[in-house]
Amino acid sequence: MPETTLQDANAIADQLVAWRRHLHAHPEISGQEEQTARYIADELERMGYETERRIGDTHGLTANLRVNDRPALALRADFDALPIQEENEVEYASRNAGAMHACGHDAHTAMLLGAAAILKEKKDQLRRSVRFVFQPCEEAYPGGAAPMIAGGVLNNVDAIFGIHISSQLQPGELGTRAGAIMSAVNDFGITIHGKGGHAAMPEQCADPIVAAAHVIVALQTITSRSISITDSAVVSVTRINAGTADNVLPESVALRGTIRNLDETVRKHVCKRVKEIAETTALALGTRAEVEIEPGYPVVINDAKAVEQAFAAARLVGFDERKLLPIPPIGGGEDFAYYLQKVPGAFVFLGAGNTDKQCHYPHHHPRFNIDEDMLPWGTALHVQYALSRGA
Ligand SMILES: [Zn+2]
Ligand SMILES: [Zn+2]
């Protein structure tokens, strides 16, 4: 009787926790993951893999498990941390001040290292080669995925699979959906130039504060008046900066914010509307708006067949059918989107939130933590997804 993938993963559970805790204690923020990359590469080489490092001039690396010349499956984990001061009081808490694995990328890396270890022993059961993709810099646009793709990481790859831990799903739950699963991101800056002066003589000025207030209100009409019932968008103004004194009208007001979409056409339309509304509203009030729309990650779009394969693999691992959840799209962005623009694949969310273990804080929170009991489940899912791939 062959062992199940979950039994295989459970057999290395201590190692999975050790990897995760080492990474958790030594976080490096996006773009600075030199030690982390070295640690991962050393662990892979200890397993007998050859690694290719610094792909696309990033800290990203890969290892290959080659079984034939046919296109390979890529399994991806990201490994950058966030500029957050950790507030968890655990022995494996961050030892790098101001840096923290507050999104679970430490777990992603540990789970994929585990899959690399197990699949190495099961090479004769694979019908397709596997490429393990360890990616840096997910948290900071322009991200690590695009330069790694430019560096050839998807050469002779025809499918990709990735897991993100979720503290908002419970242990045993696996959530994903076909189509858009995570949103496109655009940030924007609007500077409203007026004419400053004495606040007691507004007729001699062009007040950018009143203009900014109108612009902010008018921007709310994008989602309420410019978007169809079947589409969705978020436009949030998140920062306002202006003024130095109670009796002075400032020269200008700086606004910043973010735009989220689940469709590229809607995305373009919303960006266009932000620019039009800001410029014309400001003009109507005697001021001038300068609008800068900054690009971010595109929509993460799962392939329907790959999602079915992910759920099928999850059933074989032992996930309860009732906990395979067709979740709605998530407002966050992910540079996994770039891989999915090149090859079909699936991005799934593995539940690791657990109130009893204080693992219920949202991602990017200084007390974010995960239920480590889910690490073997993630490893087993990677392994099963690779093993289930047809010839
Ligand atoms: Zn994150
Ligand atoms: Zn993340």
- Mean pLDDT estimate for the chain: 97
For helices 34-46 and 13-25, what crossing angle results, to 10°? 160
Mean predicted confidence (pLDDT) in 351-360: 95
Q: Please name the residue that has the structure tokens 């498990």.
A: 65
Residues annotated as part of the active site? 297, 372
Query: How far is ligand 1, taken at its centre, from the CA of residue 120, in Å?
Result: 30
| Both structure tokens of 335 | 């540079």
Ligand closest to 79 (CA) is 2
Q: Which residues surround ligand 1, an ion (CB under 5 A)?
A: 103
Helices (H) and strands (E) in the chain, counts: 10, 16
What pLDDT does 390 receive? 80
For 88-98, write each residue's pLDDT tens digit: 999 999 999 99
- Provide the residue ranges of all domains of the chain, joining segments of one domain with +: 5-182+299-387, 184-295
Q: For the residues of 231-283, what is the DSSP string, one character each?
A: --EEEEEEEEE--S-TTEE-SEEEEEEEEEESSHHHHHHHHHHHHHHHHHHHH
For 217-263, write each residue's pLDDT tens digit: 999 999 999 999 999 999 999 999 999 999 999 999 999 999 999 99
Q: Please name the residue that has the structure tokens 């400053």.
A: 196
What residues contact residue 230 under an 8 Å CB cut-off, 6+ apart? Answer: none
**H or E element in which residue 373 lies:** none
What pLDDT does 2 receive? 58
For 340-355, write each residue's pLDDT tens digit: 999 999 999 999 999 9
For 156-208, write each residue's pLDDT tens digit: 999 999 999 999 999 999 999 999 999 999 999 999 999 999 999 999 999 99
For 103-123, write each residue's pLDDT tens digit: 999 999 999 999 999 999 999
Q: Please name the residue that has the structure tokens 């777990």.
A: 107
Say if 5-182+299-387 and 184-295 have the same CATH topology. Answer: no
Determine the Cα–Cα distance for residues 242 and 282; give it in Å rounded to an integer. 16
CA distances from 1 to 4, 119, 318, 320 (A): 9, 18, 16, 22
- Check if the beta carbon of residue 120 is closer than 8 Å to that of residue 132: no
Q: Please name the residue that has the structure tokens 């339309």.
A: 269
Q: Which CATH number fits domain 184-295: 3.40.228.10, 3.30.70.360, 3.30.1180.20, 3.90.1150.10?
A: 3.30.70.360
Strands 130-135 vs 72-78: parallel, antiparallel or unpaired: parallel
Give the amino acid at 247: N
User: May I ask the CATH architecture of the domain 5-182+299-387?
Assistant: 3-Layer(aba) Sandwich (3.40)
**H or E element in which residue 65 lies:** strand 61-65
Strands 248-249 vs 288-295: parallel, antiparallel or unpaired: unpaired
Ligand closest to 76 (CA) is 2
Contacts 24+ apart (CB under 8 A), 225-230: 226/269, 226/270, 226/273, 227/266, 227/270
pTM: 0.92
Query: How far is ligand 1, taken at its centre, from the CA of residue 50, in Å?
Result: 29
- Check if the beta carbon of residue 240 is closer than 8 Å to that of residue 162: no
Count Cα atoms within 13 angstroms, Cβ side, for 144. Answer: 27
Ligand closest to 108 (CA) is 2
Query: How far is ligand 2, taken at its centre, from the CA of residue 108, in Å?
Result: 9
